[in-house]
Amino acid sequence: MSELVTPWRSVAAAFALNGILLGCWASRVPSVIAKFGLSEASFGLLLLLMGVGALVSFPFAGRLADRLGAVRVTRWLAALYLLTLVLVGLAPSVTALGVALFIFGMSHGAMDVTMNSWATEVEAHKGRSVMASFHAMWSLGAGLGAASGFVATSLAVPTGLHFAVLALLATLLFGPFLNTTWQSRVRATQTGDPAFVLPRGPLFLVGFMALGAGLGEGSVTDWSAVYLVDTVGTGESVATLGYAAFSVTMVIMRLCVDSLITRLGPVTVARASGLLAATGCLLTVGIPLLPVALAGFVLMGVGYAAIVPLAFSRAANDPEVPAGQGIASVATLGYGAMLLGPPAIGFVAEATSLRTSFLLVGCLALMIAMLAPVLSRPARVTARA
């Protein structure tokens, strides 16, 4: 087995594991709502708890990754993440479910930061762009987790048993790959070091690019089906094609985009990505016909696929901020937008229209293209410890 454990496969396993567990949870949301008889408002509060858990974990995860090594902290968090999935499935009350989801969100978000920090180390070791391929493994993992929910629901498997079995299988499948000999770089904590460093200067603009991409991804995830039903006039089953087209495109592009970054450079790729995402938004809102709208979502998937991997790579190599803290600060803006953006889209849609909301998303995609040059800032020299 040891000959199969390469640096790339170890990090890819961490990303796939993180995605599988979140996809597994998402696939059983209707079952959880039915089990506890939750209203939309009460379930929304539970989701907010999960999101807040992720957000508050980012700075602490970045600090631990810098101090103890990203690979070590990622393994600890993976174990906690697996355990909390089981606790979510076995929660006996709404209160217990809320606590479990808060910790589930914390472990998910913290692992997201540390595994991205680890990924930048492997990327530096290989000497070429590979970050997007790791994010593709996350997307594949999320799809597999969702597929497990389809199977479990079809077989009438209780949520608790489903989550426990999947956690066991994931441990057996991915555990050996996380047991790697890779040694992460560490940085001694200095007296007076802040727990969280807000992105500043060029890194703030990098974070703003991640914010634009996070808002775009979140808007398609939560609002594409609603847009196709209410604006385009499709049926509910057909409306699922919007997110399906977007997510499949994201996976395919993330498997291809590393070679584009190597050949063309991050600035060119980011500029083209922003323009393609903006074009997709304009197509979707400009011509409310199903084929055109689907083509728009495909272009949005092409456009957004590279932005978050590029932003994390740039944050990890910032010459002024340690890698873990840099990734944590950018993640706060990017994932914060993914969490808080969809409700904001809803408020704008209520005041105007959903087409106007997607038009604003397109404007932020243009902002990504305009900010692309910040990715060319000088990088810190990195090496494997």
Task: Tell me if the pTM is above 0.95.
Answer: no
pLDDT (0 to 100) of residue 198: 62
Q: Are 86 and 167 in contact (CB under 8 A)?
A: yes
Assess whether 269 and 355 both reside in one domain: yes
Helix axes 94-126 and 29-36, enclosed angle (nearest 10): 160
Q: Are residues 174 and 208 in the same domain?
A: no
Residue after which a domain boundary falls, among 178, 211, 228:
178
CA-wise closest residue to 107 among 50, 68, 24: 50
Structural domain total, the chain: 2
Are residues 174 and 207 both part of a single domain? no
Which CATH number belongs to the domain containing residue 109 in this structure?
A: 1.20.1250.20
pLDDT of residue 147: 83
Per-residue model confidence (pLDDT) at position 74: 94
pLDDT at position 5: 76
Q: Are residues 163 and 216 in the same domain?
A: no
- Say if residue 173 is in the same domain as residue 206: no
Question: Which one-letter DSSP state was computed for residue 374?
Answer: G
**Per this entry, what is the length of the chain?**
385
CB proximity list for 342: less than 8 A, separation 6 or greater = 218, 219, 221, 222, 223
Give me the domain span that covers residue 42. Answer: 2-178
Residue 6 within any structural domain of the chain: yes
The answer to whether residue 341 sits within a structural domain is yes
pLDDT of 80 reads: 96
* Residues 143, 9 within the same domain: yes
| Pair (139, 232) in one structural domain | no
Please give the pLDDT value at position 40. 65
Q: Are residues 12 and 92 in the same domain?
A: yes
- Residue 46: predicted pLDDT: 84
pLDDT of 380: 47
140 lies in a domain? yes
Which amino acid would we find at residue 159? T
DSSP H/E element including 349: helix 323-351
**Backbone torsion region of residue 156, taken as left when φ is above 0, otherwise alpha when ψ lies between -120 and 50, otherwise beta:** left
Please check whether residue 335 is in contact with residue 218, taking contact to mean a CB–CB distance below 8 angstroms.
no
In a domain, 196, yes or no: no
Query: Would you say residue 215 lies in a domain?
Result: yes
Complete DSSP assignment for 133-169: HHHHHHHHHHHHHHHHHHHHHHTT--HHHHHHHHHHH
DSSP secondary structure string, 56-67? HHHHHHHHHHHH
Q: What's the rounded Cα separation, in Å, for the pair 128 and 58?
A: 26
Six-digit token pair at 124?
A: 């530096």
Tell me: do 277 and 334 sit in the same domain: yes
Same domain, 163 and 259: no
Any domain includes 195 = no
Q: Do residues 174 and 206 both lie within one domain?
A: no
Does a structural domain hold residue 269? yes
Give pLDDT, residue 379: 45
47 and 107 together in one domain: yes
The confidence score (pLDDT) of residue 383 equals: 39
Position 140 scores a pLDDT of 87
**Average pLDDT per consecutive 10 residues, the chain (385 residues; last block may be shorter):** 78 93 83 83 79 85 85 94 96 94 92 89 84 88 84 89 96 91 67 56 85 86 80 78 83 89 93 97 92 94 92 81 78 75 76 88 95 74 39
**For residue 385, is it within any domain?**
no
